[in-house]
């Protein structure tokens, strides 16, 4: 297996680079909106490959947009929309008044839209999405601190601090000082993949790269780490 690296590009996110003995030229494959892979011949440096990707960013972004359009992934909410988080159900109602109101309570995400406003307008859709995001944030803060403490204790890891953020390109990260950052969108994942990401970052408190020792340690603690990594690719950070 060739050497692999992950490099983060502004405005693009993470790109996977892999050296290949069989590759004769640099190639870029955009499999999904969040899965960009670069194959590098052994005689080409990572610096050259990184420069090549920067030149192709407009093409990559255009390709991503095409994938998204073909998949029909743009969500438009309306009064009969069926949408739920882990613990809440979205309910959109019509009211008299002038302002869109948002409430999160009793297992509901209640969005009240005045009769004078069009629900499918960009402004109202933005406010509905904001209500959902606030709900995910609330659920994440209630769930993730206890879960990482439990997994760290059960598997013998120590970490310095925990931050829960709305990250655009990563499910989680670990700093050089062993501070853990978890994406609030983990609450959208099945429990076994949420645990996989938490353990992934806890293993980074010991191994700071994605080398063979990292994967061996992660596999020891969560089982079939590579399989779970592949399964995770079916889930997108952006859902709208």
199's CB contacts (< 8 A; 6+ apart) are 151, 155, 218, 221, 222
Strand partners, 173: 181
Query: What CA–CA distance (Å, rounded) separates 129 from 107?
Result: 17
The pLDDT mean for the chain works out to: 91
Tell me which residue has tokens 């997108």. Answer: 236
- pLDDT at position 80 is 85
Query: What CA–CA distance (Å, rounded) separates 139 from 70?
Result: 32
Of 231, 142, 173, nearest to 13 by C-alpha is 173
pTM given for the model: 0.70
- pLDDT at position 76 is 84
Q: How confident is the model at residue 23 (pLDDT cuts 50, 70, 90)?
A: confident
Q: Is 235 helix (H, G, I), strand (E, B) or coil?
A: coil
Checking if the pLDDT of 33 tops 80, the result is no
pLDDT tens, position by position, 92-136: 999 998 999 999 999 999 999 999 999 988 899 999 999 999 999
Other Cβ atoms closer than 10 A to 222: 22
Query: What CA–CA distance (Å, rounded) separates 207 from 189?
Result: 25
Query: What CA–CA distance (Å, rounded) separates 65 from 83?
Result: 24
Domains and CATH numbers, the chain: 4-71 (no CATH), 89-136 (no CATH), 138-232 (3.30.2010.10)
- pLDDT at position 138 is 97
For the segment 222-232, the average pLDDT, to the nearest whole number, is: 95
- pLDDT at position 142 is 97
Checking if the pLDDT of 186 tops 70, the result is yes
Tokens coding 109: 């995400």
- pLDDT at position 72 is 56
Checking if the pLDDT of 1 tops 60, the result is no
pLDDT tens, position by position, 49-86: 999 999 988 888 887 777 765 555 567 898 888 899 99
Which DSSP letter does residue 126 get? Answer: H
Checking if the pLDDT of 145 tops 90, the result is yes
- pLDDT at position 68 is 63
- pLDDT at position 115 is 92
């Amino acid at each position: 297996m060739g050497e692999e690296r992950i490099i983060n590009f502004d405005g693009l996110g993470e790109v996977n680079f892999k050296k290949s003995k069989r590759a004769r030229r640099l190639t870029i494959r955009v499999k999904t909106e969040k899965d960009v892979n670069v194959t590098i011949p052994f005689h080409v440096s990572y610096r050259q490959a990184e420069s090549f990707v920067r030149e192709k960013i407009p093409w990559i972004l255009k390709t991503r947009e095409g994938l998204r359009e073909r998949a029909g992934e743009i969500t438009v909410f309306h009064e009969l929309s069926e949408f739920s988080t882990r613990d809440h159900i979205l309910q959109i109602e019509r009211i008299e008044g002038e302002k869109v109101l948002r409430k999160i309570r009793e297992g509901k995400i209640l969005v009240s839209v005045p009769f004078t406003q069009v629900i499918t307008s960009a402004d109202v859709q933005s406010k509905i999405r904001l209500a959902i995001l606030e709900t995910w944030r609330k659920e994440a803060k209630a769930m993730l601190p206890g879960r990482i403490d439990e997994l760290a204790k059960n598997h013998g890891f120590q970490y310095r601090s925990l931050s829960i953020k709305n990250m655009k390109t990563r499910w989680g990260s670990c700093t050089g000082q062993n501070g853990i950052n978890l994406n609030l969108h983990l609450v959208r994942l099945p429990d076994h993949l949420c645990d996989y990401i938490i353990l992934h970052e806890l293993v980074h408190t010991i191994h700071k790269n994605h080398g063979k020792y990292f994967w061996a340690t992660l596999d020891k603690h969560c089982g079939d780490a590579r399989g779970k990594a592949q399964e995770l690719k079916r889930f997108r950070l952006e859902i709208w």
